Amino acid sequence: MPATTEEQVERVRELVASIPPGRVATYGDIATAAGLSSPRTVGWIMRTDSADLPWHRVLGAGGRPAEHLARRQIAKLELEGVPVRDGRVDLAAARHRF
């Protein structure tokens, strides 16, 4: 697998930063918009370089947050008015389109 470039990292950061309050995107949405071959690359970038970004607006394809972040992430999203039911975000209602 080719190494992730600084340009790819910056593109992912730009996309995450552009997600408005009250909206969410999946790792796959961001990968597609950034021209990356895998949502896992977005996940890696988010784990290593997202402290200053609205990380809570990025979810897995099923609309569920990562288990270790779930309580904190869902609370932040609910404060923004994102529709959540049974620990899952309603992607049809809240998904941001790039």
The model's pTM is 0.94
User: Virtual CA dihedral for 75, 51, 60, 87, nearest 10 degrees?
Assistant: -10
CATH number, domain with residue 63? 1.10.10.10
Determine, yes or no, domain membership for 15.
yes
39 to each of 10, 55, 80, how far by Cα in Å?
A: 15, 15, 25
Lowest average pLDDT, out of 47-51, 70-74, 92-96, goes to 47-51
Residue 1 is assigned to a structural domain of this protein: no
Quote the pLDDT of residue 3: 85
pLDDT at 98 over 80: yes
Domain count, the chain: 1
Domain assignment present for residue 53? The answer is: yes
What torsion, rounded to 10 degrees, do the Cα atoms 46, 49, 53, 59 define?
0
- DSSP bridge pairs for 84: 89
Domain of residue 79, residue span: 6-94
**In terms of residues, how long is the chain?**
98
Q: What is the pLDDT of residues 9-62, one digit of tens each?
A: 999 999 999 999 999 999 999 999 999 999 999 999 999 988 899 999 999 999
